Amino acid sequence: MHKRVCREEYRENKGVGNLAKRKNKKLIYESIERYVEELRKRDIDILAAYLFGSYAKGRATEWSDIDVALLTRQFIGDSFDFKFLLMKIAREIDFNIEPHPYLVDEFNEDNPLAAEVIRTGERVV
């Protein structure tokens, strides 16, 4: 059964590369929503989550990760430890999620990466 479904997906999308390009955005949104829900269950205060990067721009390849900007009021520990914690939890939901945490006061046009998220990102949560 599993092989048949995979073969059909492969054939419909004309190869592995197109599977990634056509990954259903609804499924990506659902993964991000589950991820944020899990973070909140663990008392990590997430105010908003944005999909950005190649999936938001429609340029994803088979190697693309799912870039997610996360807004919070405070980090748990230092920024490195907090990002590591977020990545560890992300792997439990979807191995492709790449979290990018921002403090609310850092999420503005003065921060180059935040500015890209603001311009091209899609708010999911």
> What is the domain-level CATH number for residue 61?
3.30.460.10
Tell me, yes or no, whether 9 lies in a domain.
no
What digits encode the pLDDT tens for the residues 45-102?
999 999 999 999 999 999 999 999 999 999 999 999 999 999 999 999 999 999 999 9
Let me know if residue 52 belongs to a domain: yes
**68, 49 Cβ separation under 8 angstroms:** yes
Structural domains of the chain, count: 1
* Residue 1 covered by a domain: no
- Looking at the domain assignment, is residue 114 inside a domain? yes
Q: Within a domain: residue 18?
A: no
CA distances, 50 to each of 36, 66, 121 (Å): 11, 10, 6
